[in-house]
Structure formats: structure tokens, C-alpha cells
Structure 1
Amino acid sequence: MSSATVEFSPWTDPDTTPLISFEGVTKRFGNFTAIDNINLNIYPREFFALLGPSGCGKTTLMRMLGGFEEATEGTITIDGQDMAGIPANKRAVNMMFQSYALFPHLTVADNIAFGLHRSPMPKSEIQGRVDEMLRLVQLQKFAKRKPHQISGGQRQRVALARALAKAPKLLLLDEPLGALDKKLRQETQFELMDIQETTGTTFVIVTHDQEEAMTVASRIAVMDNGLLKQVDTPDRIYETPNSVYVADFIGDVNIVTGTATTVDGDATQLTWAEGVAPIKGMTGAQVTQGEPASFVIRPEKVSINKSEPEASNKVQGQVLDIAYLGNMSTYHVELPNGQIIKSQTANNRRIARRDITWEDTVWLSWTETAGIVLRD
């Protein structure tokens, strides 16, 4: 039996109405501009990530959505309604905090039911809704336990169930997995995705963890100093960043600076060191011939060999360091001009059989479409 996969991309359809719209939104605290003239649409059923370093404005943006901050300028609408002056408790929005904020004296079931008892829901329907939420987060067996009697990952799921119990149109998640260890965090990311898909609720997550954003989000907004640097799907942000900042912020990357000497449609040549051939790469955003530019390429797209390869982009250097990460190894190779380029290879053979080691002279190579030249 075959089934067609329908691609989820409402942002590409001009007839789709966004659930959330920021129009010319600015937020100032005194003389400090936390959010600077942002325009952004987020669509129903999206799992949207606000990603950036501390102080970039992502939490302020979320707090304005939740009704905890008012915009200084501009308009924020949720489901077509202007949110100006509408308090947090009057919005079809719920927020899940990093601390979870569970009531220690209440059971898991009573924590989930807490908000329902203060809602218009008939008392006779509350238990059924709590049972539904317990099933959703797979905590039926823990309903009568107190928060201190369950694990951190389970507490996180209780907080999620409580936040979803009132069926909000929008759920805001502020670094929701920050308190979990790495392995549990990775498992919980997939649970979050399943729950979001099951409920159809729009999720907006704030995180500084690039891997987390790449895993869970349908789209990511990369932020810096109150500005949106790029809003796109995870694969496009990784493969075709629109700036050196985005390329450097998302994952590991090699950056080679130089001058864009030839710009010919999709292909650009970067002159970068005396006496070596120009680098040939894809043309990125706003690259101008004769202007300073940077070539960016992911380490896994750089091949490493002891013998000279047949390739249009190739450089020779010496292995300076090797990082063994179990499933892969990263080679740090120093070129004659002092530039260090990283190459990453999968460890599909035992490490004892590896034929490249420290201080070896090696060749690095990559295809003309493996990297991108971006304006500095």
C-alpha cells in the first residue's frame, strides 16, 4: 500500500492566512532596542523556532506574543485579532516555561486539571480531558504521583499536558528542554514533535540550541541584536545561509575570506591567497564582483586524501589535530598560509585501520556546488 506524502509548507502559498503576524514590531526598554522593526508571519500547525544567542531578542518576541510585554511600535495579530491591550489570560495562548512551574503539593492529574477548573469547561468534562492529556503524554500510570516522585523528563511532559489541556491555538515554549540531560533531551524532542503533530497546535519554541531547532522546527528564525537574520526551513538555513553570521551560527563551518573576483550567475570565484588557485563556489546573497566576500563550506563536504585528487577545488596541508567523536572524525588541516580547514569523515571502519594521522601531508578537495560565497 502506498501513500502520497503531502509537503507541509503553508508559507509558500500566498492564499494561506497566517495565525500570527508581526507587522513593523519594535520593542524598546528605555534607550535599548530589543526588537527592531520585525515583520514575520507564522502559520497554523507550524512548529516554529526562534533561535539565537542570549540577548538577541527571541524571549522578548515570545513574551509579546504571550501578552507579558506590549510592543512599542507596530502590530501583533493572532488569528486575525489585534493583540494590543489584550492581557495574557484573555489570549488563546499558553506558555510552558523552562522551570515547568508545577505545583509540588498536587498530583500529576491535578496539575494538569488546574487550569481547567478555572476555565468555562463544565466540571463533568474535566476528568475526561485530563485522561486524554495523560494518554497523549503517556503518563497514565503516574496520574496519582506528586512531581517529586517522577523524573525530570516526566515533569516536562506534565507541564506540556497542562499547557495543552485548554486546547490553545498557540503554545509558547521557552527553552523547554534546557533542564534535561542530552540523551533525554534528544528523545523528548521527538516526543514533542509527535505531540505537536497529533494535536495540530501551533508551537513556537525559543532556544539557543541549533541542533534542537534543526530537529523540531518546520521553520527557524535566526535572530541577532533584535533583527531577523534569516527565516527559512532548517535544510535551507543549513545549506544556503544568507549571511556569514547565519552560516557560522548554525552547525560547524569553514570560513575563507577573500575577494569575489568572478561572479557568473550561480557560480562565483573567490581569490583568497597569493599563489593558489581561486575557490569556485555557489553565488550567495548580494555578492558583488570585486568586493570582499567569504567562502563557507561544511566540514562534511570537504574530502581528505593522502594522494592528489581530480578536483577543481583542492588544497594541500598538514594534519594539525584530529577530533575522534565515535561515529565520525574531524581533521583540522593547516594550509601553508596558516588557514585551518576542517574535514569530517564517517568512521565506517575501525580507528586502527585509519591511514591518516597527525602531521601527515594531505589533500583537501570539494565540488564547485559544495560551498557558498557570501558577501562580508
Structure 2
Amino acid sequence: MVNSTVFAPWEDPGQTPLIRIENVTKRFGDFTAIDDVSIDIYTREFFALLGPSGCGKTTLMRMLAGFETPSEGRITIDGKDMAGVPPNKRAVNMMFQSYALFPHLTVWDNIAFGLRRDRMDKDRVAARVEEMLKLTQLQKFAKRKPHQISGGQRQRVALARSLAKAPKLLLLDEPLGALDKKLREETQFELMEIQEKTGTTFVIVTHDQEEAMTVASRVAVMNHGKLVQVDTPERIYEAPKSVYVADFIGDVNLIEGLVASVGELAELTWAEGKAPLIGQSGASLKAGDEAVFAIRPEKIAISREEPEARNRVRGKIVDIGYLGNLSVYHVQLPDGSYMKCEVGNRSRVSRRDYTWEDEVWLSWTDTAGLVLPS
């Protein structure tokens, strides 16, 4: 991920966005796929469009590429209105999920294809292809055909071909979806390294939260054609502005209740006879509102003895998941609801500290959770 403490053009009013999506709506008949979306994306950003299937992220990308036109609003790239500009006249390239490599051409010729179509001088084509092979570490595979290399290598060929024409903007449509988990994780870091080396602006479409959080400088979370939150991965995770974002990104415990008081911290009454839960206050809350307390499992401590923390609940362990680097405890509370707690496995253990049916306390600090509008 680009270091957002250093690279944060979106926080500088003097910076001009490379891409401006202004009040864009896209309808297909009676169906609204994109609903009044506005985003600014800056040069050298690795920007992620994240959301479930059908949320509109691919439609938005296709409008950037020129394969679809907005029903309303406008898109500008590098200050130029894209209305009526066909895909081949835009300083944009798109890398498809299928990679769309030519099976009868070698890796070298696949990368050279677009340059040759643009009638680039032969020597310049050769120099540019060699540069791309080096960038993507494919020099040894230049003479092979796509079926003679691995899935991860094919992905890099598609990336090299997309970057060969030096587009201002590269669009990546679920580019790692065909790779297995371990290779996908390795390739995420390769993508980030290549993006930083080239300085090209990348926009990636993905439904994989972990992928978006790993590679992106900023993430736009979408739902039903609308933007729900646009922010850095850290803020999306630590300071979600809605229950939807909190629930969509990573694991979270959600407890419904009523706001008892609001200041910098908010108190939520949630179960009769139980002390209120305390957390950081979300936007637009007032006393008496229905709200949801959100707390990440890794921010919860588990103990046998009653802790001193104001936020504490008692329950019984009903399930345990061992994930190697951490153990996950599912704890049933007296009201029948469940909470999940994650504990890091820092050393080898021959036995568990806690096991099924144990009565335990869960606790967390006043600022570990959020009280969000329901």
C-alpha cells in the first residue's frame, strides 16, 4: 500500500484529480446501476472499488474505460470530458479478469501487440517490450506461449501488455480472481511494487475486502449503486461510518440498543439489567436513537476473572476455531446473543487456556468500539 502519511493528494486542496466522476448515474431501462456517484481519483493512486456482486463497481469501471456511457453526470480524465470519446482514444487501458491473452502468440508478442497496432517503430517496440519483461520479471519466459506458463505468470503478461502503451490510467477488473489464495497474496505485493515503479494510476475492481485493503491507497465501498464510504484502508477498518461498512470489512460484533448519552463517547443501553456499552460516537447520534455497537473481535480480551474495565460482559464459550496464528472463541451471552473474540497464539501450547462450556469474561477499552446509527 502507498504510505498514506506521505502520499495523500486527496487531503491537499491544491491538487488536481486525474479522474473526476461527477454526479454520474447509469440506468439500464428501469434499473439504476449507478446512482449519483461522485469521486476524485489522483495521479499515482492505487484506488479500489469494493463491494458485493451487483453493487455497480464494474459498471463504473466500464464507464471509465468508455464501454458504457453515463445516463447523467460526466467523467473527466486529465481535465478532458470523456463524453463521446471512444475507448481506443482514451489514455486508459483495461486488464480483464480472463487476461485475454492471444494463445498463438509468445509472451513477447503478446506484450508487443498493442504497440505494433499503433505502428510504433520496430526498435522502440523491442525496447519497450524488454522494459516490460524486466518490470514483470518475465525475461526467461519471453519465447513461451501462454499455455506454457503458470496462472500467475499469465497475469503478469496481461499486466505487462496493459502497461506497455504507458496509459495514464490502468483499470483492473478482478485481476487476481483466477489465482489460488497464496499466489493471490504474493501477486498483490507484486502489483503494488509495479504500480509504484511505473507511477501509473491503478483502479481495481474487487469484491475481496482483504485484497482491496492490501493494495489500495484508498477504497470506495459501494452498495446498490451508491458510494457508502471513500477512505484509506485504515480508516475504513478502524472508523467505518456505517454499520454496512463495519460489517462488510472484516469480522465485527454488532449489538443493537438505544443511545443513552452522547459526547466524545456514547453510551448504549442494550440489555435489561446490564451496564451500558461505551464506545466512540458515530456521526449524527442523539440520546434515544436506535444504534448499533460495533467491536472488532481482536480488540476484545478474554479472562476467567471479572475485569475492571467498564465494558465487560459474561458468557459461555460455545465454539472454538483454531486458525494457526490465532484462536477464535464464540461466546454466548445471557440474553442468547453471541460475541466473537480473537486471541493471538504467540507460543506453542499443549493445552488451551479456555475450552468449550467455560464461563468467561469479555472486556475492552472505552475507545475500542464504535456506536453507529442503525
TM-score when normalising by structure 1:
0.98
Is the counterpart of residue 261 in structure 1 residue 260 in structure 2?
A: yes
Deviations 1:85-136 (A, max 9, x none): 1000000000000100000000000000000001153222100000000000
Name the SS for the 1:331 alignment partner. Answer: strand
Deviation at 1:353, TM superposition (A): 3.4
Name the SS for the 1:125 alignment partner. Answer: helix
Aligned to 2:135: 136
Aligned to 2:342: 344
Is the counterpart of residue 20 in structure 1 residue 19 in structure 2?
A: yes
Structure 2 counterparts to residues 140-289 of structure 1, below 5 A? 140-264=139-263, 266-289=264-287
Could you tell me how far apart the structure 2 residues matched to 1:104 and 1:177 are? 19
Aligned to 2:309: 311
Could you tell me how far apart the structure 1 residues matched to 2:345 and 2:265 are? 32
8 Å CA contact 1:260, 1:271 repeated in 2: yes
Letter in 1 for 2:277: I
Could you tell me how far apart the structure 1 residues matched to 2:287 and 2:42 are? 38
- The one of 321, 324, 338 aligned to 1:323: 321
Aligned to 2:297: 299
TM-score when normalising by structure 2:
0.98
Could you tell me how far apart the structure 2 residues matched to 1:305 and 1:352 are? 19
Change in 2 beyond 3 A, CA 1:32/1:6: closer
Aligned to 2:8: 9
Letter in 2 for 1:334: Q
Change in 2 beyond 3 A, CA 1:299/1:36: same
Could you tell me how far apart the structure 2 residues matched to 1:248 and 1:121 are? 50
Deviation at 1:329, TM superposition (A): 0.7
Letter in 1 for 2:265: A
Name the SS for the 2:152 alignment partner. Answer: helix
Could you tell me how far apart the structure 1 residues matched to 2:349 and 2:228 are? 40
Could you tell me how far apart the structure 2 residues matched to 1:350 and 1:5 are? 36
Is the counterpart of residue 108 in structure 1 residue 107 in structure 2?
A: yes
8 Å CA contact 1:269, 1:278 repeated in 2: yes
8 Å CA contact 2:44, 2:202 repeated in 1: yes
Gapped regions of structure 1 (runs ≥ 5): none
Name the SS for the 1:16 alignment partner. Answer: coil
8 Å CA contact 1:333, 1:342 repeated in 2: yes
Aligned to 1:334: 332
Could you tell me how far apart the structure 2 residues matched to 1:50 and 1:287 are? 28
Aligned to 2:32: 33
Could you tell me how far apart the structure 2 residues matched to 1:287 and 1:322 are? 35
Aligned to 1:55: 54
Deviation at 1:5, TM superposition (A): 9.9
Structure 2 counterparts to residues 62-101 of structure 1, below 5 A? 62-101=61-100
Could you tell me how far apart the structure 2 residues matched to 1:285 and 1:58 are? 26
8 Å CA contact 1:108, 1:145 repeated in 2: yes
8 Å CA contact 1:288, 1:375 repeated in 2: no
Could you tell me how far apart the structure 2 residues matched to 1:275 and 1:201 are? 57
8 Å CA contact 1:320, 1:358 repeated in 2: yes
Could you tell me how far apart the structure 2 residues matched to 1:17 and 1:353 are? 58
| CA RMSD between the two structures | 1.1
Name the SS for the 1:311 alignment partner. Answer: coil
Aligned residues: 372
8 Å CA contact 2:4, 2:217 repeated in 1: no
Name the SS for the 1:115 alignment partner. Answer: helix
Deviations 1:7-48 (A, max 9, x none): 100000001000000111000000000000011100000000
Could you tell me how far apart the structure 2 residues matched to 1:279 and 1:219 are? 31
Deviations 1:166-221 (A, max 9, x none): 00000000000000000000000000000000000000000000000000000000
Could you tell me how far apart the structure 2 residues matched to 1:374 and 1:196 are? 36
Could you tell me how far apart the structure 2 residues matched to 1:124 and 1:359 are? 72
Could you tell me how far apart the structure 2 residues matched to 1:5 and 1:21 are? 20
Deviation at 1:6, TM superposition (A): 6.5
Could you tell me how far apart the structure 1 residues matched to 2:115 and 2:71 are? 33
**Which range moved further: 346-355 or 331-340?**
346-355
Name the SS for the 1:362 alignment partner. Answer: strand
Deviation at 1:286, TM superposition (A): 1.8
8 Å CA contact 2:45, 2:202 repeated in 1: yes
Deviation at 1:309, TM superposition (A): 1.1
Gapped regions of structure 2 (runs ≥ 5): none
Name the SS for the 1:45 alignment partner. Answer: coil
8 Å CA contact 1:25, 1:36 repeated in 2: yes
